[in-house]
A and B are shown apart, each in its own frame.
Chain A
Amino acid sequence: MKRADLQSNLAMTVTLIMGAMLFTTLFMGYAIYRSASTYWPPMGFAKVALGLPTFSTFLILVSSLFCYLARVATQVRKVEKARLYLHLTLILGLAFMLTQGFLWSHLKATGVYVSSGIFASILYGFTWIHAAHVILGLGTLLYLEIVLKNTSDSTIRKVINVEKFWHFLGIIWLIMYFTIFVL
């Protein structure tokens, strides 16, 4: 079974590199926009209030913690416990999406529309692209809801891969949070 683990690891690593390259491109663009601008936010916009983004950061990080616990439980062959942590991961993931939704409507309410220029483009564009990947991640969690019924080696591999992707999403969000909202 060792080769299957190697294949699983390798494929997941390549997949994460691919995702990282996509987001790296976005962050590189952001660096260029920002360094070319004399002041930021440009065009008289105010920095986004940190309440909602901080809360979604908290949600996604805690859901990562539960995802990690789900994987550990699977590896020590405790299916029920693993399923519980999986439910919690999923719930918090959905809560993250809900919070993002509030963030977007809050932005609209304060006059920051998608077509409001480069600052808004980055806020909406980047968080939407991240959200699209979170939806993919939620899909993989739903898939686990269906298949996490045993703790066979093949199931463990699936959980490990979903966990890696979920952490990846959390890390990307963390970077976005710091570079776009905090700094």
Chain B
Amino acid sequence: MSGGYNEIHPEPTTFISKYLISFDHKVIAKQFLWYGIFFLGLGGLMALLIRWTLAYPGVPFPVLGNLLFPDSAGIVPPDSYAMLFTMHGTIMIFYAITPILIGAFGNYCIPLMIGARDMAFPMLNMLSFWFAFLSGVVLITSLFLPLGAASGAWTSYPTLSTMIGSPGAGQTFWCVAIFLFGISSTMGAVNYVTTVITLRAPGMGYFDMPLTIWGLWLTAILNAIFVPVLGAGVILLTLDRVLGTTFFLAGASATSGSGDPVLFQHVFWIFGHPEVYILILPAWGIVSDLLSFFSRKPAFGAKSTALAMTAVTVLSTLVYGHHMFTTQMSPLLTQSFMTLTMTISIPSAIFFANWLGTIWKGSIRFDSPMLFSLGVVFVFGLGGLTGLHLGTVTTDLYLHDTYFVVGHFHYTMAASVLLGGFAGIYFWFPKMFGKMMNEKLAKLHFWGTMIPLNGVFFGMLMIGYGGMHRRIYNPFVYDSLKRLIPINEFVTISAILMGLFQIVFVINFLWSLKKGPKAPNNPWEVGTLEWTIPSPPVHHNYDEIPVVKCGPHELGNPNLKTGRDFQYQTEELVQG
């Protein structure tokens, strides 16, 4: 079953082959989308439970408290709290962002935007989703184990994550779930890398690809190289937990010969640092394209943006030690990681400049995808800059494991990726579902997300700078942190507000699916290949494989006489 030849296959007819065991990249994309949105909601609920406990210690959680924590009168108990922040991190990273940005957008956009009929390996694609599904089942099951789910933080450092610190099966289930998810990710990576290289339509060179595809492709390359490293790490951790090996046991607990707990940190972050770039690259690509589309002019410095994203991809492999400054690695390693971390500023600054250059002298349409893209520029600018404080060793000695870190990575991961993801959803919804979403609700969703979001994560930066460390159940056992209660409260209220406004999105999404006005082929009036075909596309996407004759951002060409202000990629570039 290979679409690799761009053959037209007969359409599936049964319910199972259409919606469940589907080989169609568009269906698989939607499967990942539902899956990701479900976990986004679950992870978000966990975040609210955490925030409630931090702002109002000892107060029962409203409505759901007594249902979830009957033994403690609706108050989140300390051991559940540890499970909550562990699962919140795990779910958001692996089960929400990855499926939505990489699983859904990757699957949907790659074949369509490069002019292919499907991925190179449709069966592998289908397996990738179902392995992810299995992984999710294992993870959710772990919540119902007698001793509960994993509770050693999503970073699961030994020896806390070995049997010493985490008895019970929860942490083992976590390892198994992560490993299964890694299988799903790496299957996807093989598919994305091969598809982009071999199935681009005739005439589409690498620099004629939309930047969305660049982002997704670079992400897939990083996934392929580094997910197996995490895989090795969790296998060894599982062996320690289940079979009595001592890879990560040391000190008094290593009664039979010593391993090295810090080795796990090295392995984890060799994966972990590229992972954060894996999560952001698709959003960077999407924003780069959307800023151009809604400014009605070509992406400024598109080639250098693609190259800058590639440079960041390469550099991201060399900087992982900045997560470990407090473990006292050798001075040489410590200094090297600091210096290498700094170099990432250069390509980042370059594509920031290109983003601003794109909207400069544009003719900007402030539709919701554009608002969200502009939002990404704001939050990633802020969040990325706070990385400098953390990449510098001495300031990191104060800031490590405080809320400053939490604020930093939520600005760069949660805020940027979330806003970028919403931009993508609002942008491609017409193509995916053949209906238009409601623009007024979309704008309301934007402001209702953007403003509280800044309250939450800027508040965290402030609390962290004030010295509050992270992963603590009740900060106010420390006299020195009592003064931060009002800011914690502010953060929680902002988070609740932000959570509430997501209901606007859900309502808009579900209502538009059923009752939205029918979408034309090209509602946004842009020229990438997916907009040359109907919304939604037919099963085999393209009746004729398109031949690409110009770049993806041909907008605002003054020589255009057709009445349109853009050209499709299948049209010859109109010269003066």
Contacts and interface: CB of A to CB of B under 8 A. Distances in A.
A26 B266 CA distance: 12
Given A7-B198, A11-B194, A32-B263, A18 B246 contact: no
A24 B263 CA distance: 14
A22 B229 contact: yes
Contacts of A22: 228-229, 231-232
Contacts of A119: 257
At the interface, is chain B mostly helix, strand, loop or mixed? helix
B224 interface: yes
B333 to A, nearest CB: 12
Interface string A3-28: 11011001100110111011111100
Contacts of B236: 26, 29, 125
A174 B231 CA distance: 22
Interface residues of B, number: 40
A19 B244 CA distance: 25
A46 to B, nearest CB: 14
A121 B162 CA distance: 15
B194 A10 contact: yes
A147 interface: no
Contact of B245 (A7, A21, A24, A124): A124
Interface stretch (B69-77, B104-112, B185-193, B404-412): B185-193
A4 B257 CA distance: 51
Nearest to B257: A117
Contacts of B197: 6, 10
Interface string B198-237: 1000000000000000000000000011111101110110
A83 B308 CA distance: 50
Contact of A115 (B228, B245, B263): B245
A180 to B, nearest CB: 14
A26 B190 CA distance: 22
B190 A7 contact: no
B275 to A, nearest CB: 14
B348 to A, nearest CB: 26
Interface of A: 3-4, 6-7, 10-11, 14-15, 17-19, 21-26, 29, 32-33, 36, 42-43, 113-121, 124-125, 128-129
Interface of B: 2, 4-5, 120-121, 186, 189-191, 193-194, 197-198, 224-229, 231-233, 235-236, 239-240, 243-247, 254, 256-260, 263, 267, 270
14 contacts: A6-B198, A14-B193, A18-B227, A21-B232, A24-B229, A25-B228, A33-B259, A115-B246, A116-B257, A117-B257, A117-B258, A118-B246, A121-B245, A121-B247
> What 4 pairs across the A-B complex have the smallest Cβ distances?
A117-B257, A115-B244, A121-B245, A25-B232
